[in-house]
Structure 1
Amino acid sequence: MSGWVRWHADGPRTRIQLRVLGMTQEPVVLWRGVAVALVTLFAEDGSVDVAGTAAHAERLVAAGVRAVLVAGSTGEADALSDGERVALVSAVRRACPGVPVVAGASGAWAGPAAELTAASVAVGADAVLVAPPRRAGDLRAFFERVVAAADRRPVLAYHFPGVAGGAVPLEVLPSLPVAGLKDSTGDPERLLRLLSEWDGAVYVGSSALVSTAGMLGAAGAILAVANVAPEDCVAAWEGDAAAQLRLTAAHVAAKSEFPHGLKRLVADRFGTSVASRMG
């Protein structure tokens, strides 16, 4: 498998090129700026509100977010079936035609991660975000299998150990066949090292580091708080210190009793359901 693959569209979606050489993906930037780590909305009976979730994504794009992550840890992926995850990706893709859609595709081992990756790109995902298993063993072999299933779409590794799978160690990252990384630890030293020691696309997942990441030249941010405060997230990324400070209360509340704290914030602003399958 080799060659160049190109995506492009008018509007906020960034023109990119991804070169796939064997099982290696060169660094690629799908978008620059703030993406939302989308919540999954549920009906009171516990069923997934696919249409409501897609409509929420659409309004956040209208408010300025540049991409949408579907069925990640913020989206309660551990409580979703693969069929539900794929249905959400498909619906958000249709609702948000002008921006990249990234599908959460983590799995307990390489087999299910590869299967979910293939199913997600088949319904329109532009990229996948995959955390390594908690007992990954050979990380390169794990990500090679995911890359093979991604049909030349970018694969982003996900580092949020203890919350979403296992770790992506800094010393191992350069050997992995991935196009980028989301790091949700909120560790500023690790962010500095990522940006100075690795040439892949770096996305922060902590709303406490939005302004810092923007100033230092990270590719972007993928934020849970963008579900409720997309405008301040975008402003903070662009260097607005007051907006970064305003995000503090939402950042703290969103981490409280996750995902219930975040669901309450979103409901207070947009009138959405607070129902959850977790906790």
Structure 2
Amino acid sequence: MVDERVRLWDGVAVALVTLFADDGSVDVAGTAAHARRVVGEGVRAVLVAGSTGEADALTDGERVALVAAVREACPDVPVVAGASGAWAGPAAELVAASVAVGADAVLVAPPRRPGDLGAFFARVGAAADGRPVLAYHFPAVAGGAVPVEVLGSLPVAGLKDSSGDAERLVRVLTEWDGAVYVGSSVLTLTAGALGAAGAMLAVANVVPEDCLAAWAGDAGAQLRLGGPHVAAKSGFPHGLKRLMAQRFGTSVAARMG
């Protein structure tokens, strides 16, 4: 059994996009190749089928296929599978399927109507077969909230917080001893300076070098992330995919937006 407090990595991970063909089908090979590209630039881990990956538009089978392909393409870094569900049952099923194909950890948002959060994450954790479970706080986009007050009672190894709330980040870091990852690129430098475990960033799909530099304390790099950050948030996912197409020639096709 893996200790639930194990930190799989420190530093910047990419919140991976999902690439699609013009007919709307998932480009599994292309997505995995892009993951390998940004890992080659120095990102420390890959989050597959999260919010940035248009998870709401993917079937469970597509999500599992992406995890398997990225695991094969990126054998030397942790692969985290987005595995949220509308309630504990489907979330646990997706968690189990994801770890079966090689996910090193899972990222799970609580349902919008979670009931007992401890019981929800206990069931998810049982399905994870010893892999660390990271709670996901991004109630504006994915599932329900993960209140700071209950973090200490949850059977989770870490938290991804994509709220962009600096005050909440300080509270989490001072009130809880789990691994804290930010999901908002505007807090990259701040999170690194305050001792967070890392960041899982959408903009690492297009400017991984600036993400890494900002994490290391480069204020200029943090400021340069402003443009991609705004583009990634504006008309999601099209703004981010246009930037990727300009730099890497990848497809702009999307299912959402």
TM range (shorter): over 0.9
Shift, 1:173, TM fit: 1.1
- Corresponding residue number in structure 2 for 1:251: 229
Map 1:164-175 → 2, pairs under 5 A:
164-175=142-153
Question: Cα deviations across residues 164-207 of structure 1 (Å, max 9, x unaligned)?
Answer: 10000011111100000000001000000110000000000000
Question: Cα deviations across residues 50-103 of structure 1 (Å, max 9, x unaligned)?
Answer: 000000000000001000000000000000000000000000000000000000
Q: Secondary structure at the match of 1:178?
A: coil
Which amino acid in the other structure matches residue 31 of structure 2?
T
Matched, 1:60 2:38: yes
Which amino acid in the other structure matches residue 251 of structure 1?
H
Shift, 1:28, TM fit: 2.0
More helix by share: 2
- Corresponding residue number in structure 2 for 1:93: 71
Quote the sequence identity (%). Answer: 82
Q: Report the TM-score, using the length of structure 2 for normalisation.
A: 0.99
- Corresponding residue number in structure 2 for 1:191: 169
Question: Cα deviations across residues 87-127 of structure 1 (Å, max 9, x unaligned)?
Answer: 00000000000000000000000000000000000000000
Rounded Cα–Cα distance in structure 2 between residues aligned with 1:262 and 1:139: 33
Which amino acid in the other structure matches residue 137 of structure 2?
H
- Corresponding residue number in structure 1 for 2:246: 268
Shift, 1:34, TM fit: 0.2
- Corresponding residue number in structure 1 for 2:29: 51
Which amino acid in the other structure matches residue 6 of structure 2?
V
- Corresponding residue number in structure 2 for 1:82: 60
Matched, 1:40 2:18: yes
Shift, 1:162, TM fit: 2.3
Rounded Cα–Cα distance in structure 2 between residues aligned with 1:41 and 1:49: 5
Rounded Cα–Cα distance in structure 2 between residues aligned with 1:267 and 1:86: 25
Map 1:59-208 → 2, pairs under 5 A:
59-208=37-186
Rounded Cα–Cα distance in structure 2 between residues aligned with 1:162 and 1:232: 26
- Corresponding residue number in structure 1 for 2:210: 232
Q: Secondary structure at the match of 2:159?
A: strand
Q: Secondary structure at the match of 2:236?
A: coil
Rounded Cα–Cα distance in structure 1 between residues aligned with 2:6 and 2:102: 18
Rounded Cα–Cα distance in structure 1 between residues aligned with 2:235 and 2:196: 29
Rounded Cα–Cα distance in structure 1 between residues aligned with 2:215 and 2:36: 20
Rounded Cα–Cα distance in structure 2 between residues aligned with 1:72 and 1:30: 18
Question: Cα deviations across residues 144-176 of structure 1 (Å, max 9, x unaligned)?
Answer: 000000000000000000201000001111110
Matched, 1:278 2:256: yes
Rounded Cα–Cα distance in structure 2 between residues aligned with 1:184 and 1:269: 25
Report the count of equivalent residues: 257
Q: Secondary structure at the match of 2:148?
A: coil
Which amino acid in the other structure matches residue 161 of structure 1?
P
The unaligned stretches of length 5 or more in structure 1 are 6-17, 20-24
Q: Secondary structure at the match of 1:74?
A: coil
Which amino acid in the other structure matches residue 200 of structure 2?
I
Runs of 4+ in 1 over 4 A off after TM superposition: none
Rounded Cα–Cα distance in structure 2 between residues aligned with 1:30 and 1:208: 23
Which amino acid in the other structure matches residue 23 of structure 2?
D
Rounded Cα–Cα distance in structure 2 between residues aligned with 1:205 and 1:269: 22
